């Protein structure tokens, strides 16, 4: 049976899809070639649910298995409507080959931890899932309901996985999870200890991290950004910069301590990214004004901005939806412009950088440096090659070496 795997959503889903590709014998590259489509779904917003349904409707001439987070919120309905042949929970992704002929709904529980090792990947870098679930209870988020409580993947599995991928030529590893910074709290270790052990593996040239919470940044982690292997870029989720809004969102971080943390990290020449939600219920003009004033103080170089989108089943969905969409868009553009200027000024320092080549397009090799800034080089290098670059031009859209 020819199988196509469609992936929606986060890096953890990307990792899970790679695991499924490793255990299924006959994976094809397009829906048209497939007898069966496995949909690894996202359900983080109502829009994600809409996109999932539209995709499934488009391929009704194929057999479909639904898995991923959407299996928990949309699975039963889609199965009853005969839109999908089967619905499987996260627990069964690692043995998906046993369920290709399954019909029905089988969600299981959240007591599992990943145990399969990703042994093969076709890309220049690999996403490595180190953790599942989340113990936070943010008002806008459905993820704890569809992923369960935080639990760490066994350290030996992670290290063995990286060694196997190293052996086939992968040298950059992106650690990811649902709440990655909580790694080790259930196994008497820590994210910093894991990173240090990965750094000792010969052949690993760069470790990148997914999103962290402010409370998960410790001194050891900060020190590791100076070792040349952990990238000098940290993505630390703030979600907002008004304490009033953070309380409404049921977030644990507050402005004063996080600002102090960000300033400390910037002093060590670390590029800093964040997530920010605009337009959440309760973001009045006063709250926005306070947030904007505070936001300007943060030395941010990268940002992921999300315009609030209602997610049924969350506390935020029950609040009055009082921020018009056009207002949220304007606020997002203001923040984007501030960070764009910050990033440009950061790059003007023009340090010598180490670039990992990921693509070649229009006569330029393209990759990212240790600060997670894009570099274009007017020369062809092999994908996966590492190149030291200095004396480059700093442009608005990125750095260029002619």
Q: Are the beta carbons of 22 and 118 closer than 8 angstroms? A: yes
Domain total of the chain: 3
**pTM score over 0.95:** no
H/E stretch holding 196 reads: helix 191-199
Is residue 68 located within the same domain as residue 168? no
Q: What is the pLDDT of residue 26?
A: 92
For residue 123, is it within any domain? no
User: Does residue 140 sit in the same domain as residue 265?
Assistant: yes
218 falls within a domain: yes
Q: Is 253 domain-assigned?
A: yes
Splitting the chain (402 residues) into consecutive groups of 10 residues, what average pLDDT does each group show? Answer: 95 91 92 97 92 97 97 96 97 94 94 74 86 95 94 95 94 95 95 97 97 96 94 98 98 98 97 98 98 98 95 94 96 98 96 96 96 97 96 95 96
Residues 146, 39 share a domain? no
Q: Are residues 253 and 379 in the same domain?
A: no
Tokens read off for 274: 């964040």
- Alpha-carbon distance of 183 to 181, in angstroms, equals 5
What is the longest distance spanned by two Cα atoms in the chain?
A: 61
The whole-number pLDDT of residue 2 equals: 96
- DSSP classification of residue 154: P
Looking at the domain assignment, is residue 122 inside a domain? no
User: Do 334 and 379 belong to one domain?
Assistant: no
333, 339, 346 from 398: Cα distances, Å: 19, 14, 11
In-domain check, residue 170: yes
Residues 132 and 236 reside in one and the same domain: yes
Backbone angles phi, psi at 40, to 5 degrees: -95, 100
326 and 200 assigned to the same domain? yes
143 within some domain: yes
Does residue 178 contact residue 105 with C-beta atoms inside 8 Å? no
Angle at CA 241, nearest 5°, toward 238 and 245?
A: 100
pLDDT at 117: 67
User: Do 260 and 365 fall within a single domain?
Assistant: no
- Regarding whether 300 and 204 lie in a shared domain, the answer is yes
Tokens standing for 321?
Answer: 């939806």
Which of 180, 178, 171, 183 is CA-nearest to residue 207? 171
Contacts of residue 142, defined as CB under 8 A and 6 or more positions apart, other chains included, come to 43, 44, 69, 73, 311, 313, 314
Q: The domain that contains 175 carries what CATH number? A: 3.80.30.20
In the listed set 72, 106, 140, which residue is the last one of a domain according to the structure? 106
Q: Which residue is listed with tokens 């009055």?
A: 320
- b/e map of 105-142 (b: 16 or more CB within 10 Å)? bebeebebbbeebbeebeebbbbbbbbbbbebebbbbb
Q: How many residues does the chain have?
A: 402
| CB contact set of 384 (below 8 Å; sequence gap of 6+) | 124, 169, 170, 171, 356, 357, 358
The set of long-range contacts for 222-225, using a CB threshold of 8 Å and a minimum separation of 24, is 222/264, 222/265, 222/268, 222/270, 224/192, 224/195, 224/196, 224/199, 225/268, 225/270
| CB contact at 8 A, 150 and 186 | yes
Say if residue 60 is exposed, middle or buried (CB neighbours under 10 Å; 0-12, 13-18, 19+): exposed
Cross-strand partners of 152: 131
> Residue 118 domain-assigned?
no
Closest CA to 49 of 317, 332, 315: 317
139 & 226 share domain: yes
Task: Note whether residue 115 is domain-resident.
Answer: no
Given 106, 139, 155, the domain boundary residue is 106
- What is the residue range of 373's domain? 353-401
Question: Does residue 368 share a domain with residue 282?
Answer: no
As separate numbers, helices (DSSP H) first and strands (DSSP E) second, the chain gives 12, 18
Residue 69's CATH number: 3.40.50.12160
Task: Decide: 106 and 78 in contact? Cβ < 8 Å.
Answer: no
Q: Are residues 183 and 309 in the same domain?
A: yes
């Amino acid at each position: 049976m020819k199988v196509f795997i469609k992936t929606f959503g986060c890096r953890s889903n990307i990792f899970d899809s790679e695991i499924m590709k490793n255990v299924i014998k006959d994976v094809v590259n397009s829906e048209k070639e497939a007898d069966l489509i496995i949909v690894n779904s996202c359900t983080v917003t109502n829009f994600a649910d809409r996109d999932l349904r539209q995709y499934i409707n488009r391929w009704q001439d194929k057999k479909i298995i639904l898995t991923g987070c959407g299996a928990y919120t949309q699975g039963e309905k889609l199965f009853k409507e005969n839109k999908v042949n089967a619905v499987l929970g996260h627990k069964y992704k690692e043995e998906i080959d046993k369920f290709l002929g399954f019909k029905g709904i089988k969600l299981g529980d959240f007591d599992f931890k990943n145990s399969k090792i990703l042994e093969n990947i076709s890309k220049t870098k690999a996403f490595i899932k180190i953790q599942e679930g989340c113990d936070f209870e943010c008002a806008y988020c459905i993820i704890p309901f569809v992923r369960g409580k935080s639990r760490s993947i066994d350290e030996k599995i992670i290290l063995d996985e990286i060694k196997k991928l190293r052996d086939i030529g992968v040298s950059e590893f992106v650690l990811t999870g649902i709440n990655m910074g909580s790694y080790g709290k259930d196994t008497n270790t820590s994210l910093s200890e894991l990173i240090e052990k990965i750094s000792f593996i010969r052949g690993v040239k760069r470790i990148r991290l997914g999103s962290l919470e402010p409370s998960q940044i410790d001194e050891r982690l900060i020190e590791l950004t100076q070792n040349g292997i952990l990238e000098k870029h940290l993505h630390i989720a703030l979600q907002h910069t008004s304490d009033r809004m953070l309380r409404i969102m049921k977030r644990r971080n507050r402005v004063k301590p996080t600002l102090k943390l960000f300033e400390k990290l910037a002093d060590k020449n670390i590029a800093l990214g964040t997530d920010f939600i605009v337009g959440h219920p309760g973001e009045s003009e006063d709250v926005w004004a306070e947030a904007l004033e505070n936001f300007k103080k943060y030395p941010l170089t990268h940002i992921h901005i999300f315009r609030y989108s209602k997610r049924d089943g969350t506390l935020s969905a029950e609040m009055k939806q009082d921020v018009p969409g056009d207002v949220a868009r304007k606020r997002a553009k203001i923040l984007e412009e501030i960070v764009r200027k910050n990033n440009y000024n950061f790059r003007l320092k023009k340090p010598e950088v180490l670039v990992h080549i990921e693509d070649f397009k229009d006569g330029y090799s393209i990759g990212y440096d240790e600060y997670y800034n894009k570099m274009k080089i007017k020369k062809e290098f092999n994908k996966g090659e590492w190149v030291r670059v200095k004396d480059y031009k700093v442009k608005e859209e990125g750095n260029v070496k002619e």
